[in-house]
Amino acid sequence: MKDYILKDEWNIIERGFVSEYNRISESIFSIGNGHMGQRANFEETYSGDSLQGSYLAGVYYPDKTRVGWWKNGYPEYFAKIINSINWIGIKVVLNGQELDLARCVIHKFERRLDMRNGLLSREVEFTNAAGERYRLAAERFVSIVRPDAGLLRYSITPVSGSAQIEITPYLDGNVTNEDANYDETFWQPVNQQASDEAAMVCMETRKTGFRVCAAMQCDLLINDTAAGIVAIPEASSGYAGKRYRTRIDRDGKLTLYKYAAIEVSLYHTKESLEETARQQALTWQQTGYEALKTEHSARWQEKWQESDIVIEGDLAAQQAIRFNIFQLYQTYTGDDPRLNIGPKGFTGEKYGGVTYWDTEAYCLPFYLRTAPPEVARNLLRYRYNHLPKAIENARKLGFTNGAALYPMVTINGEECHNEWEITFEEIHRNGAIAYAIYNYIRYTGDTSVIEEFALEVLIAIARFWAQRVNWSEARQAYVILGVTGPNEYENNVNNNWYTNYIARWCLDYTREQIALLHNQDAKALRKIFSKTNFKAEELNNWQKIASQLYLPVDKEKGIFIQQDGFFDKEIKPVSTIPDNQRPIVQHWSWDRILRSCYIKQADVLQGLYLFEDHFDTATIERNFTFYEPLTVHESSLSASVHCVLANRIGATDKAYEMYLRTARLDLDDYNEDTCDGLHITSMGGTWMAIVEGFAGLRVKDDLLMLTPNLPASWQSFTFSILYRGCLLHIRIDRNFTRISNSGDTPVSVAIHGKTYRVEAGKELSAENRQATSLEKSH
């Protein structure tokens, strides 16, 4: 854990430079717009430790799989979003000596991420090896309005005397990934051009053939006045730059504006790419940096209007939740169903920017509640588009009849993961994808997705479960053998309660949706049946399986059993593990972890979270009380679910402890891995922890419900949601829950079980229940 980020409501601030933290800061201060992401690398050359990262959504390379011992069914490649053309680069030479902060004495250093406006800035004052002192100020953003625009302002001031400054903004496609299994080159150059006006680099990925073209225009100012210096163009394979040289007086200022347009063949024909990039860069230049910044800021402020959370009385929590919301919107904007949300977004190479079940389980609830329904719908459609590949994936593993197994890890629908215990066995992911459909409909009330595409997904998933079970003569029940549940510290177990439960639910929910559509639009259903070659017997079979599917329960303890044989383990709370053996994944051998009772992330509790309505509070409480003390939360996705459930049973202190674990995970580098990138998908969980946790927000039978619990240290918290076309601002303090409805229609809300009607344009104020006696000591 680290504590070097200054606490501030709207800004992330690093003051003073510690080179060992540079990779961490490069992750934390990342900027993005859902289409491009850029780590907070310095513009100028830096020879110290750094992970260069410029990422483009959807532009991936199928890196050849590295495996120790091949198993039949492993994928050939691991797709990864790769480091792309460096568009921020500026080479700076000061009196003949190249600027490299690793070789300078740094007097002042501030890096700042202005989340309100979506801006990254840096101010540095330093003395170089020649003993000359300079000031440097840089600001940049990737426009949230224009997905292809990367813009920056960079200025240098000689402080100790006048200086001959050579400044070369460039584009460079000669970039590599640190994470490359066989040191392959991912990119090949297509073209490059440089003139005294513009510069352009065009690259193409090997194998996948994504073409990317970056063009730039520059303005150079001396003391804020156009300098009128003619640039010397530079070009070489995959590289283009423009070299400016001038003398700047002491305390004078040389300012460079760099307008980069980065165009991708996902959105343009390859032939038109170069011209598009050149034209766009020219447009940005003509529009001007400040105007572009103004529209960018304005759009960010709109987003904040819809999705901000204000916490009174807890600055650290305030900063953290805004950081999480900000990074989520930097990663995914929901305008292209071909895109998704990588566990690290565009902030590093780890996990390759590809899609996990994290999206459905942790991110969809956020976008569903803060963005128009189209955004969440595009996340559903993403999986629908991958359905043929998911069917193909299941077929490879021996399933038939259009059964689908969605991949554990994917970018284009094909499986990329290659640990048998995950790839082949962590099949509950199929359930999360079905649940996302249910979740979408429950929140939005929009059932049109069923007919449009979602029923096909549900049928394929139900078919998978129907084949994945087998009849156990010994138990006289259907069982699901050889799985890995959400708790990946158990592998290849039988009858994982969560998996069996969600499998059963999938079978039931699909039957239910078929019945509904049959009533509403039998013709549409027939069309889907015909398309999926559906047989009526399947329904009976599903019904039979669901009704006889084994679910491990300990009746005496009144809890669900994580999997068969769990009670053969030695059950001792996490608190008995010596501190110096935590996290256990770093200190214990894998077999020891597997044999232990310790739970990486919510497993039975994940099921109770998803299917809360199916269980009474006492059941949830018994299971929480049993499983929480056994949970090590060594996944970033765990604490948020525990936070919601702790709130559910009124354990507000435990809930707040869980919230702290998730909210500042990256800002405080809790797991010492922020250097690899930010935990983007877990940020959705943090949002859930507040809104579903402390606010207790639910939607049930088309009724919005709130059951607020205010953490002791908070005076109030305020958040906004988009619900059935209405933007609702909700403020919860010790005494009142206030809801103001900015929409055009009234909204019914139940607060602590009592139903109110919030008229359009009006505010409702309801008294909160007193702190109850439900708070338990654990």
Q: Report if residue 419 touches a copy of itself, rule: CB under 8 A.
A: yes
Query: Helices 652-663 and 680-688 meet at what angle, rounded to 10?
Result: 160
CA distance 91 to 98: 7
Q: Report if residue 534 touches a copy of itself, rule: CB under 8 A.
A: no
Binding mask 37-76 for a copy of itself (x = CB under 8 A): ----------------------------xxxxx-xxx---
- List, in sequence order, every residue forming a beta bridge with 559; answer none if it has no partner: 554
- For 157-191, give one letter per residue: b (16+ CB within 10 A) or e: bbeeeebebbbbbbbbbebebebbeeeeebbeebb
CA distance 185 to 174: 9
CB of 127 to a copy of itself, least distance (A): 43
- For 520-545, give one letter per residue: b (16+ CB within 10 A) or e: eeeeebeebbeebebeeebbebbeeb
> Given the rule CB under 8 A, which of 12-20, 203-211, 233-241, 413-421 is the region that contacts a copy of itself?
413-421
Q: Report if residue 161 touches a copy of itself, rule: CB under 8 A.
A: no
Nearer to a copy of itself, 32 or 677 (CB): 677
> Given the rule CB under 8 A, which of 323-331, 359-367, 473-481, 634-642 is the region that contacts a copy of itself?
473-481
Q: Report if residue 699 touches a copy of itself, rule: CB under 8 A.
A: no
Q: Report if residue 586 touches a copy of itself, rule: CB under 8 A.
A: yes
Taking phi first (over 0 means left), then psi (-120 to 50 degrees means alpha), and beta for anything else, what does residue 401 get?
Answer: left
Q: Report if residue 471 touches a copy of itself, rule: CB under 8 A.
A: yes
Taking phi first (over 0 means left), then psi (-120 to 50 degrees means alpha), and beta for anything else, what does residue 352 get?
Answer: left
Residue 755, amino acid: T
Q: Report if residue 618 touches a copy of itself, rule: CB under 8 A.
A: no
Q: Report if residue 582 touches a copy of itself, rule: CB under 8 A.
A: no
CA distance 687 to 571: 32
Q: Binding to a copy of itself (CB under 8 A): which residues in 495-524?
A: 495
CB of 281 to a copy of itself, least distance (A): 42
In the numeric block, the tokens 């198993």 are attached to 71
CB of 647 to a copy of itself, least distance (A): 32
CA distance 51 to 380: 33
Q: Which two tokens stand for residue 249?
A: 């007086």
CB of 458 to a copy of itself, least distance (A): 23
Q: Binding to a copy of itself (CB under 8 A): which residues in 535-574?
A: 564-565, 567-571
CB of 590 to a copy of itself, least distance (A): 4
CA distance 743 to 688: 23
Q: Report if residue 396 touches a copy of itself, rule: CB under 8 A.
A: yes
Q: Report if residue 470 touches a copy of itself, rule: CB under 8 A.
A: yes
In the sheet where 90-94 sits, what is the strand order? 97-98, 90-94, 163-172, 239-248, 232-236
Nearer to a copy of itself, 160 or 625 (CB): 625
Among 591, 613, 701, 744, binds a copy of itself (CB under 8 A): 591
Q: Report if residue 106 touches a copy of itself, rule: CB under 8 A.
A: no
In the numeric block, the tokens 């003993």 are attached to 131
Among 587, 700, 734, 757, binds a copy of itself (CB under 8 A): 587
Among 481, 516, 574, 577, binds a copy of itself (CB under 8 A): 481
> Given the rule CB under 8 A, which of 127-135, 469-477, 639-647, 752-760 is the region that contacts a copy of itself?
469-477
Q: Element (H or E) spanning 306, and its range?
A: helix 289-307
Nearer to a copy of itself, 355 or 484 (CB): 484
Number of residues located near a copy of itself, criterion CB under 8 A: 48
> Given the rule CB under 8 A, which of 262-270, 366-374, 588-596, 674-682 is the region that contacts a copy of itself?
588-596
Burial class (CB in 10 A: 0-12, 13-18, 19+), 72: exposed
Among 585, 699, 727, 750, binds a copy of itself (CB under 8 A): 585
Where in the sequence numbering do the catalytic residues fall? 488
Q: Report if residue 613 touches a copy of itself, rule: CB under 8 A.
A: no
Q: What is the C-alpha end-to-end distance of the chain, expressed in Å?
A: 25
Nearer to a copy of itself, 74 or 756 (CB): 74
Q: Report if residue 580 touches a copy of itself, rule: CB under 8 A.
A: no
* Cα atoms found within 13 Å of the Cα of residue 307, Cβ hemisphere only: 29
Among 102, 594, 699, 750, binds a copy of itself (CB under 8 A): 594
Q: Is 477 helix (H, G, I), strand (E, B) or coil?
A: strand
Q: Element (H or E) spanning 163, and its range?
A: strand 163-172
Among 590, 618, 712, 767, binds a copy of itself (CB under 8 A): 590
Q: Element (H or E) spanning 158, and its range?
A: strand 149-158
Q: Which residues bind a copy of itself (CB under 8 A)?
A: 65-69, 71-73, 396-398, 418-421, 424-425, 470-475, 479, 481-482, 491-495, 564-565, 567-571, 585-592, 594-595
